[in-house]
Structure 1
Amino acid sequence: MSWLPTLITKTPEEGYDLAIKLSRMAVKKTQPDDAARGAMRPDYANSADSLTQVSHVVATNFQTVAQANNFWRD
């Protein structure tokens, strides 16, 4: 089964969780080495700029999910 069977979610909160998963999977697929990702984590975990950039990536992915869900309007 695919890790991403659909962009459709029941609620905006589920959509936001999916946006986070999309963001995390992009990092994992870009750097598949668990040890390398772990070694880099302290650098970005303590950087306000890095954390702000992460928020931007999640927000962009959330826009994609929201559009796929027609902004949860019936």
Structure 2
Amino acid sequence: MTATWLPTLITASPEEGYDLAVTLSRVAVRKTQPDGEVRARLRQSYDEDFGALIAISHVVATNFRTVAAANDYWRSAG
């Protein structure tokens, strides 16, 4: 069996969960557009676009909600 890049959604803390949510978001972009040169070129169209940056934040927040639920909101707050 091969190793997976995402063995679990379980994290030790909300901060680690947020970092995982960012990673999930970044991996989705890489899987959607595997060509790094294309991603770099496209980045120029949104890196100063506040609407695009807000949309990116929404994607991360959605992924964080998923991670938080998987962690039972960090073992029910305590």
1:62 to 18, 41, 64: 64
Q: Unpaired segments of 5 or more residues in structure 2?
A: none
Question: What per-residue deviation string (whole Å, max 9, x for no partner) do you get for residues 5-32 of structure 1?
Answer: 1000000000000000000000000000
2:31 aligns to what? 29
% identity of equivalent residues: 59
Q: Give the paired residue count.
A: 74
With normalisation by structure 1, the TM-score equals 0.97
Q: Secondary structure at the match of 1:73?
A: helix
Partner residue of 1:12? Answer: 14
Distance 1:9 1:73 in 2: 10
TM-score by length of structure 2 reads 0.92
Q: Which has the larger radius of gyration?
A: 2
Q: Using the alignment, how far apart are the partners of 1:56 and 1:33 within structure 2?
A: 24
- Tell me the residue number matched to 1:49: 51
Q: CA RMSD in A?
A: 0.8
Flag structure 1 segments of 5+ consecutive residues without an equivalent.
none
